[in-house]
Structure 1
Amino acid sequence: MKIHDLASALRLEVSKLHKTLRVHTKLSEGLSLSEITALSLLYFNGTVYPSELAEVLRIKAQSVSQVVALLDEKGLIVRTPSDIDKRKIALTLSMKGKHLVEESRRQRDSWLTEAMNATLNKQELELLEKAVKVLEKLSDY
């Protein structure tokens, strides 16, 4: 297989797996991909400013305002004025938001574990373990 064809096949399968994982996560129903990504970013980074969120999500400030407003309305985030510049608002996860992210991760991990046990043999699991290290290199590029 040529490298371009391999890249295309990899992209397709990673995309399908990502969509399948979203389907098997009941807690994220009703949230857009931008909202889910924002929650994940807050979970891993703690405090984030809307401008940083816009950069990661690759959306305009107006769109970030909508995402932030929806997450705030659902009680998933906390807005705190910056100590340095009161015009800036720091965003953090609320306890409800943190629990949602953690339960969502648990559901996805559980489904994926079940799928791996049901469909992969020992050699395929060992191959997948090696493939994860390769995928990490690609993700870090």
Structure 2
Amino acid sequence: MSDLSNAAVALRMISGKLSRRLRESAPPADLTWSQVSVLGHLVRNGGMTITELAKAEGVRSQSMGATVASLSGAGMVKAESVPGDGRKTRYVPTASCLALIDENRAMRDDWLLQVMEQTFSAEERQTLLAAIPLLQRIADQ
């Protein structure tokens, strides 16, 4: 196996472990991870219909309907008519949802900052900062 192949395997494993650690650092309150994922789509993409959300998550519309209903009941999303087509309904995040997501992101950012400050030397921090654009290019592919 080449050095680059080994690096690909290591990066995959590290990114998975880091994702799990970030999730652990900021539990999603009373929400399931599938609900959190749906809220992420809505925050990133704006209002979406059940069908659009189901396609984005790779699930059936009926399953997504149940997820959205639970989020609506929890006050995390609200329904509104699709502009130009009042027959369709799209769901948008509520102010409560946006506050929860901001709080969750801040907790994860704080955890990551604390770990980097406690774990890395000044030189290692500079190396990490230099690698960020490279990692971003991989993520953008």
Superposed pair shares fold, TM > 0.5 = yes
Residues in 1 aligned to 2:118 and 2:137: alpha-carbon distance in whole angstroms: 27
* Number of aligned residue pairs: 140
Residues in 2 aligned to 1:128 and 1:58: alpha-carbon distance in whole angstroms: 34
Match of 1:129 in 2: 129
C-alpha root-mean-square deviation of aligned residues, in Å? 1.6
Residues in 2 aligned to 1:52 and 1:102: alpha-carbon distance in whole angstroms: 24
Counterpart AA for 2:25 = H
Residues in 2 aligned to 1:132 and 1:78: alpha-carbon distance in whole angstroms: 36
> CA offset at residue 53 of structure 1?
1.7
Normalization by structure 1: what TM-score?
Answer: 0.89
> CA offset at residue 37 of structure 1?
1.7
Residues in 1 aligned to 2:56 and 2:123: alpha-carbon distance in whole angstroms: 37
Residues in 1 aligned to 2:117 and 2:40: alpha-carbon distance in whole angstroms: 27
Residues in 2 aligned to 1:69 and 1:2: alpha-carbon distance in whole angstroms: 49
Percent of aligned positions with the same letter in both sequences?
29
Residues in 2 aligned to 1:124 and 1:67: alpha-carbon distance in whole angstroms: 43
Residues in 2 aligned to 1:25 and 1:98: alpha-carbon distance in whole angstroms: 15
> CA offset at residue 82 of structure 1?
1.9
Gapped runs of 5+ residues in structure 1?
A: none
Match of 1:53 in 2: 53
Normalization by structure 2: what TM-score?
Answer: 0.89
Counterpart AA for 1:16 = K
Match of 2:21 in 1: 20
Match of 1:9 in 2: 10
Residues in 1 aligned to 2:13 and 2:59: alpha-carbon distance in whole angstroms: 24
Residues 102-117 of structure 1 mapped to structure 2, 5 A cutoff? 102-117=102-117
Gapped runs of 5+ residues in structure 2?
A: none
Deviations 1:48-73 (A, max 9, x none): 22222222222221221122112111
Counterpart AA for 2:93 = L
> CA offset at residue 34 of structure 1?
2.2
Match of 2:63 in 1: 63
Partner-residue secondary structure (3-state), 2:78: strand
